[in-house]
Amino acid sequence: MKSDFEIITKEKERWGKIYTDIYYAIDNISPFLSEDFLKRKKFYAKGKVLKDYMKLLEEEEQKSNKKGFFSRFTSPDEGKINSYKASNRETFTQLENCSKCACFNCVVECSFKTCTSCRRNSHIKSCDHNKLNVRVHDNFTLDLTNNDTGKEDKFKVLATLEDCEKDQEYIIIENIRDINDRYILYLYAGIKEDTYGEITDEDEFNFISQRFETLEA
């Protein structure tokens, strides 16, 4: 019984904070953004999933506190709670990342792709609102083949960057077996798969490298 109530308490503490942050953010930014731009933000469209989850937790907690005639208390329906989370797993992950994103409380109607280019388990870490933003990722890896050696290696994606002035995206990757083996490449997002290209302009390469190094520092 105690563990059942502890589960609800922990869930309310974790997701209750994110739920509160989301609706505070919506209230704060709504007066400054057009309805069309506001609707592009994923947490605006998907926040109801978390709202319904908080309602479910509250109902289960209240039900469990009611004393029955033949038994003292009824345990929370943990299966119902887990089922709801499982069926909305992607949305829960998305909303958690939204709460950490630089776009979360932003009131600038910028030219970045922002939410439309958001990948699973990612969020924008840094944004200057005009030219460049930097997106970080969790558990995003690529299997790439070296064109010179023909050898395939697995790379961890450290960040993707968007330059909205050039309408160009970049990707920074690191060899999982050798942290000194890093690459900065052009990123061309595709419907079925992404493609990559070599950056030949030294100034452009250095600019992207410096922006990422500033984030790492």
Alpha-carbon Rg for the chain, nearest whole angstrom, is: 22
* pTM of the entire predicted model: 0.86
> Residue 192: phi, psi to the nearest 5?
-95, -40
Q: Name the residue ranges covered by the structural domains of the chain.
A: 2-98, 119-216
Mean pLDDT (the chain, rounded)? 91
Span 93-112, pLDDT tens digits: 999 999 999 999 999 999 99
Span 16-42, pLDDT tens digits: 999 999 999 999 999 999 999 999 999
